Amino acid sequence: MYKILVTFVLGMFCFSGKARQLNTEVSDTFRVYGNCGMCEKKIEAAATSVKGVKSADWDRESNVLILMFDEHLTNSLDVQKAIAKAGYDTEMVKGDDKAYDKLPGCCKYERKE
C-alpha cells in the first residue's frame, strides 16, 4: 500500500513538472511613466527588444504596461531595466537620466522624486 502511494505521489510531481515546462509564458503588469503616443512606441519597443518578451502593451491613460514573456528567458525586472535605459521610470527601476534629458519636450513626463 505504501509503495503504491509513493509511486502515485512521484507521478504527480513528474506530471506537474512537465506541465510547467510546456507553459512558460507568463504575464506581468507594472507602471511605466510617460506622456504621449511617442512614449508608447519607445516604451513598447524597449520592452519587446528584450529576448523572451512576446508582447508589450502600454496604456497612455493609466501608465500601465501589460507584459507577456517567457519566464525561462527573461523576467519582469530585466524588462524594466531595458525600459529605464530608454529614459523612462518604471515601478522598480529609475529611468536613465541622460536618456531622459534627450527625450523630446512632449515626452518629458513629470518624474517622481
Please state the closest distance from residue 34 (CB atom) to Cu ion, in A: 6
CB count within 10 Å of CB 54 equals 13
Told to check if 107 binds Cu ion by CB under 5 A, we report yes
Among 26, 31, 35, 68, binds Cu ion (CB under 5 A): 35
Give the HSE-up count for residue 73: Cα atoms under 13 Å, Cβ half-sphere. Answer: 15
By CB under 5 A, the residues from 59 to 78 that bind Cu ion are none
Q: Closest CB to Cu ion belongs to which residue?
A: 107
Among 6, 10, 12, 36, binds Cu ion (CB under 5 A): 36
Note the residues at the interface with Cu ion (CB under 5 A): 35-36, 38-39, 107
